[in-house]
Amino acid sequence: MTGEQDASLTQPLRLYRDLAEWYPLLTPAGDYAEVAACYRSLFEAHCAHPPRTLLDLGSGAGHNATHLKAGFACTLVDLEPAMLAQSRRINPECEHLQGDMRSIRLGRAFGCVLVHDAVVYMTSRTDLARAVGTAFAHTAPGGVAIFQPDFVSETFEPGTESGGSDAGGRGLRYIEWRWIPKSATEMYVSDMAYLLKDVDDDARVIHERHFMGLFPRAVWLQLIAAAGFEPRVVSQEHGSYSDTGHEVFLGLRPVEVGVS
Ligand SMILES: C[S@@+](CC[C@H](N)C(=O)[O-])C[C@H]1O[C@@H](n2cnc3c(N)ncnc32)[C@H](O)[C@@H]1O
């Protein structure tokens, strides 16, 4: 099974729809401080000009944006209106737009483009190439795009993770179980169980399956180059964000000849 072959992998996920208001309990915004600081310094180090604008593709609840908006004017794009609503609540000063990272075209360019963990929902090389193409179309000459998959094929380890938090009298705990289906190529499954405890102390359990793309490092670099970027890869450890090993891909959009 590949994402190319299975159209059902365009998944309407409850976590980003009717359960979106629980999302901040799954990964609270504070957990993104360290990773956002890392992205900020990568942008500053690699942009040809001091960057002022940032486009976040797959911005979710806007948790990265809470830490980046002090330094950049942020435009946040997500597929799901319920996630954009979560982000608007905490980032009212940011521009929010509904759209698909594979196809959206805003007709303007940004100094920085961030494609964070939402990129894992690209379950085929075709979709991944389209998302990278969207990033390129919105990166200004001399600007930089960052792509952050949870894993590349070379670093994937099956396993489980658990976590969650409490706020406003409610609580969420989750277990994530990651594994590769026998028939899969370039894809893994993340089986998520959410235990939701409401203000009245009633609890319910919900399971849903997320299908996620898993591509070799060389494919990432090749697709980033094919879009028109100069590709780079850097290794980062984001201690408080996740215990998975992260590799960060950069796409540097060359400064156009004759343009200062
Ligand atoms: C894990 S959340 C992202 C959290 C985000 N990094 C933050 O700072 O809050 C994943 C998001 O990807 C979005 N998503 C999935 N496929 C997408 C697509 N094709 N285009 C845009 N957003 C997408 C989902 O709607 C969801 O909000």
Q: Angle, to 10 degrees, between the axis of helix 125-137 and the axis of helix 217-227?
A: 40
Name the residue among 79, 228, 246, 247 with its Cα closest to residue 143. 228
The CA 78 to ligand 1 mean position distance, Å, reads: 6
Cβ neighbours of residue 140 under 8 Å, at least 6 residues apart? 53, 109, 110, 111, 253
Cα–Cα distance, 44 to 226 (Å, whole number): 24
Residue 248 pLDDT = 95
The SS3 of residue 3 is coil
DSSP 8-state secondary structure symbol assigned to residue 124: S
- Ligand 1 atom closest to residue 20's alpha carbon, by position in its atom list: 27
Residue 6 pLDDT = 57
The CA 118 to ligand 1 mean position distance, Å, reads: 4
Structure tokens at 172: 């969420």
pTM over 0.85: yes
Domain 18-153+215-252 homologous superfamily, CATH: Vaccinia Virus protein VP39 (3.40.50.150)
Ligand 1 pocket test, candidate residues 22, 27, 78, most atoms within 8 A of CB: 78
Residue 256 pLDDT = 80
DSSP state string for 48-114: SS---EEEEET-TTSHHHHHHTTTSEEEEEES-HHHHHHHHHH-TTSEEEE--TTT---S--EEEEE
Residue 9 pLDDT = 55
* Mean pLDDT per 10-residue interval, the chain, length 260 residues: 55 94 97 95 97 98 98 98 98 98 98 97 98 98 97 96 98 98 93 98 97 97 98 74 69 80
Decide if 98 contacts 79 (C-beta within 8 A): yes
Residue 2 pLDDT = 55
**Does any ligand 1 atom lie closer than 6 A to the CB of residue 151?**
no
